[in-house]
Amino acid sequence: MSINDKVVIVTGASSGIGASIAVESAKLGAKVVMVGRNEEKLSKVSSDCASVGKKVKPLVINADVSKDEDVRRIIDTTVQQFGQIDVLINNAGFNKLVTIHDEKAMDAFDAVLATNLRGVVHLTHLAIPYLKKTKGNIVNVSSVAAVKPMGQTFWAYCTSKAALDHFSKCMARELAPDVRVNVVNPGPVATDFGANSGMPADLKLEIKDMVVLERISQSEEVTDIVLFLMSDRARGVTGSCFLTDNGLLLK
Ligand SMILES: NC(=O)c1ccc[n+]([C@@H]2O[C@H](COP(=O)([O-])OP(=O)(O)OC[C@H]3O[C@@H](n4cnc5c(N)ncnc54)[C@H](OP(=O)(O)O)[C@@H]3O)[C@@H](O)[C@H]2O)c1
């Protein structure tokens, strides 16, 4: 499948990896549906898409993927506007830094799971009839944290991403042969993720020491893999988790 003219929903499109996926998809002629909550950032990325895009302006949906009514609105508005869904990119995600001993541990767990896992499950559930019609596909943005525990305040995040990987494989099996489902598992990427998850600014330096390639990725590196997975070049790929971690797992 070439992305030209395809309807591509990108959650978390206001920032970082999702913004890059939205812009690059627009560049390739996709009808992009951008989902996020931050109006200012959504508007900036939407302008970037419009300036590189070949055809239609992106459809911007201000929605919280952890809220059921917002998830329903994402699917309904997309279908009303474009009549179909070809690709669902579940990219929205965050972490809440708490230890398991913290009195707010369960609140943090529920919040992280609600966005990183439940939102993905709900969007998948509602998008399936449309994806089956178009023989489309799903790409979920997970993390290396799905396979490697990352420290005391990452337990909820790691757990959510491990579950996301397994859910993706279950869906790849269940939705075959009509719909492919794949995962990208990035290591450290230079985005607003740290700031949005309340991490200290100097953590970047420590992260660099954690990977054998001694570097942090740019969002576009993750986007390249997502673009491959959503295209026909990956027609034989389903249920796969693509690691792009600068060799973090090797350390
Ligand atoms: N950066 C890294 O080092 C790294 C590494 C591995 C995996 N990842 C994964 O990559 C994905 C993208 O993260 P990023 O690095 O690009 O971080 P980011 O710059 O913080 O972007 C996160 C995006 O998710 C959106 N989002 C968060 N909660 C949401 C919700 N409840 N409803 C709707 N949108 C929501 C944010 O939009 P609004 O603020 O507008 O709502 C934002 O667009 C995440 O799933 C993250 O876990 C990141």
CA-189 nearest atom, ligand 1: 3
Mean pLDDT score, 224-249 = 97
Taking a C-beta distance cutoff of 8 angstroms, is the pair 230, 247 a contact?
no
The residue among 6, 72, 1 whose CA lies nearest residue 35 is 72
2 falls within a domain: no
140 falls within a domain: yes
Residues of the domain holding 23: 7-246
Query: Is residue 12 predicted with pLDDT exceeding 70?
Result: yes
185 falls within a domain: yes
Options 109, 130, 155, 157, the catalytic residue:
157
120 falls within a domain: yes
Q: Which residues pair with 243 in a beta bridge?
A: 185
Residue nearest to atom 42 of ligand 1 (CA): 12
pLDDT tens-digit series, residues 125-138: 999 999 999 999 99
Mean pLDDT score, 75-103 = 97
Q: Which residues line ligand 1 (CB under 6 A)?
A: 11-12, 14-18, 35-38, 41, 64-66, 91-94, 115, 141, 143, 186, 188-189, 191-193, 196
CA-188 nearest atom, ligand 1: 3
251 falls within a domain: no
Taking a C-beta distance cutoff of 8 angstroms, is the pair 118, 66 a contact?
yes
Q: How far apart are CA 33 and CA 46, in angstroms?
A: 10
1 falls within a domain: no
As a dihedral over the C-alpha atoms of residue 199, residue 213, residue 224, residue 169, rounded to 10 degrees, the angle is -70
Total domain count, the chain: 1
72 falls within a domain: yes
Taking a C-beta distance cutoff of 8 angstroms, is the pair 154, 203 a contact?
no
Residue nearest to atom 23 of ligand 1 (CA): 12
Residue 152 belongs to domain with CATH number: 3.40.50.720
Taking a C-beta distance cutoff of 8 angstroms, is the pair 37, 60 a contact?
no
130 part of the active site = no
CA of 11 relative to ligand 1 center, distance in Å: 8
pLDDT tens-digit series, residues 36-87: 999 999 999 999 999 997 768 999 999 999 999 999 999 999 999 999 999 9
pLDDT tens-digit series, residues 104-158: 999 999 999 999 999 999 999 999 999 999 999 999 999 999 999 998 899 999 9
222 falls within a domain: yes
Predicted pLDDT at 209: 85
- The fraction of the chain above a pLDDT of 70, given in percent, is 98
